[in-house]
Structures are given as C-alpha cells and as structure tokens.
Amino acid sequence: MSEQADNRGMPQPGFIIEHQNSDHKWKVLRNIYSGPFSDVYVVSDMNTDEHYAMKCERQIGNSRPVLKLDVMVLMATKGIRGFPQFQAAGRTEIYRYCIMQLVGPDLGRLRRTRPDRRFSIATSLQILEQTLKRLEDLHDAGWLCRDVKAPNFAIGVGINEGTVYMLDFGFARKFKDKEGKIIPPRPAAALMGTFQYCAVSAHSHKDQCTRDDLESWFYMAIEMLKGPLPWAHIDGHKNHKLIGEQKMEMRKEPEKTKFFEGVPKQFREIFDIIEATDFFDRPKYSRLRELLIEAAKEHDISMIEPMDWMSNKRMKLKANFVGELGESHQASAKLDADKTQDNEAMDIEFENADEIHPDYVGVSAKGSSKRPRKESTKSKESSELSPEPSSTAKPSAPPSAPSSNLPPIYS
C-alpha cells in the first residue's frame, strides 16, 4: 500500500484506496486536474484493471463543499443512460472522494476546437436531443441542475463516444417533496448558475424550476449552432444584470428576429414552448424532441450519423489542450440577493440516503496524509471562479443541509 500524498494531503499516483470490510482496491494512476480545494484523478480497479474517475474534495479549508451533491444525484440516476455510473464514495481526514465512470472531454472544450467555435448542425441536433433527454431524466428523478451548459456534458470513451453524459451537479437542487409534489417557490433566492446561460428568473433572484433548466439548454443550443451568444462579451461578475437585460431584449423585435437568424426555424417554437412553461408544469419534452427531429429532416440530417469528434479524431486530442473557459465571467457563481433566503441553509432538505438509492457503498482510503496548509484568500477566490475539468465533475456550489442519516461521506 502506498501512502503518497502531496503537500496539501491529496493523493498522488500510486496511492491505494480500499473498501471497508472488503478486498476491493483502487489505485490512483494520474492526476488530471488539481485546484485549491479539489482534485480529479484516473484510478484503476485493482480487481478488474478497469479505469474510473475519482473526484476528491478537501474537507479542511473548503467553505463550499459540493461533492455530496454529485454523489446524491449520481445515486438517484444510477442505471440511467447518459449519467456517469456511481461506483463508491468515502472520506479520509483530509478529503471526501467519489469514484465514478470515466468519461471523455466536455462539449465546451470540443466546441472550442472548431475553427468557428460551433458544431455542425448534424452534431448539434444530435447533442441537443441527447441533452434534452438527460434533463428529462434528471427532472423525473426530482432534481434541478441549475447550471446547464456545454462544459457540464461530456462524451463517452471507447464504444460510448457517441453518448453524451451529464455531470457536475454542484448547483443541483431537489425540487420535489417526499410525495413527489413540486415545492412552491420561495419569495427570493440567490443567483445560481452561470451568467451566460442562466435563465432570466435567476437574474431576478427568483427560485428556479424545470423551465429554467430548459432555458439554459436553449442558450446552449444557440451557441452550438451559431457560436458565442450576443452577451458573451459582458463580464457577468461586474454586471450580471446587463446580461439579464440583454436576454430580455432578445425576446423583443427586432432583436428576436436577429437572434434566430442562421438556426433552424423550429427553434422559435422551441423557445416559445419553454417560455410558456409554468413553474409547476411538466415541460413538453416530447414536443421539443419532435421539433429537433423535424429540423433534422428539413436539413436532410440523420440523427444517427457520426458526430464531429467521431469523424475527426483530432478534435478529442485538441480538446485536451484547450484551456478552461478562459474568462472568469463564464464561471459558475453564486450571488446573494438583498433580503433573499439563504440557499446554503435552505437549498435542499435531504431525506434518508437509502430512500434516494439503496445500494450506497461506503469506502475509505488507507494511508496517512499530511494536513494541508491554509489557503490564501486569493486561492479561495480563484477556486470559485475557475471551473474544473469536465472529464468528471466539478464542485461549484454551496453545501446543502446535513442529515444524520446520510452516508459517511456527508457526516
């Protein structure tokens, strides 16, 4: 057993993680991301030699732990196509960790490898059909994403490279009660999401609903088809309200006509359907899917043809060298509204973990780790502004209310 750890107490290649009361072991192969409060690794199942992703989040000095949200959502969606399959989770003195299915580069990086920063229309429509299904499944599981954007979707590896996976649930919120009823909106809420893609209701500090996830999905769609959004040049950290105002102006003529230039005509109806969805409504996923297929037929596109990265293998290689989003205003952020209710205290009321998914497997890492040094204020700020790699999941949200009945990773 290796006891290698870096000077922050995080594991390094060669570190061994073992299940409690089991001979199951995982070996850390390499680090693929390292930030002030979290790291992402490729690990190997020592029984099968299969590779997985392991996301670690520091327990000490981290004011915004979110790994528990990733675990909760992955358990709730276990077995559903297009969600990384949960393997195990646990904690040491220094960090919590989650082991999950390994996926490939995220759609944001892949899009930015293209000369015009957009996918072909054939690939875009296929991506949108798959990501719409991911949102439908997530909503049916009782969760909102609240941070829908291309970097939070990734392609599979090997034979699964045509499958788009949804990940990174640091801003997720459970929006149904134990009886399956939608929880009424609060009087006010903090702005949760990414400035470029969040819904207008988020800019207005209103509680989000399934409609708002779809509005963010719609902005992602336009970006895939046309390239950068009209408000992409605005620094949301300095003026997020201006972005919200531009989104409102986009709904009026003549800006609306200009906004829809260069995209299939069906996207006007897609937008209108999303806009007409009430807070308590179930979105018309089937009709939205029909419109995507209709657009494909009008452009003589098959929804099963190879996607851009499948016909151009260099895209995946280039994606590994594409930086993060590159501009801090595109990073996920939480802004507290005046007189809003505290999301950190109210965001989620956790149920017994067994009610969410019965076969949680607790694990622990063997080996001692050094206690990490205290991070500077500058490091803390950069961790909140810089997104993590989308080959797994990234912590980017406030913690949820704890429960004494949660698995060990949450205690």
Q: Please report, in angstroms and rounded to a whole number, the separation of the first and last CA atoms in the chain.
A: 26
147 is catalytic: yes
| Sequence letter at residue 124 | S
Q: Give the C-alpha distances (Å, rounded to integers) separating 186 from 23, 350, 364, 393, 403.
A: 47, 18, 38, 28, 22
Q: Give, as one character, the DSSP assignment of residue 15.
A: B
Rounded to 5, what percent of the chain is helix, strand, coil?
Answer: 35, 20, 50
Residue 364 sits at φ, ψ, to 5 deg, of -140, 155
Give the CA distances from residue 388 to residues 19, 87, 219, in Å, rounded to whole numbers and listed in that order: 27, 21, 21
For 351, residues 6+ apart whose C-beta sits below 8 A from its C-beta are 178, 403
Strand partners, 154: 106, 165
What value, to the nearest 5°, has the Cα angle with vertex 104 and ends 146 and 136? 35
Collapsing DSSP to helix, strand or coil, 306 comes out as: coil
With 0-12 / 13-18 / 19 or more C-beta atoms within 10 angstroms meaning exposed / middle / buried, residue 297 is exposed
Catalytic position from the list 39, 106, 147, 207: 147
The contacts of residue 347 (CB under 8 Å, 6+ apart) are 173, 398, 400, 401
Contacts of 288 (CB under 8 A, 6+ apart): 132, 214, 270, 273, 274
Torsion of the alpha carbons at 56, 92, 98 and 316, rounded to the nearest 10 = 30
Return all residues near 364 (Cβ < 8 A) that are at least 6 apart.
17, 18, 19, 20, 90, 91, 92, 408
Active site residue ranges: 147
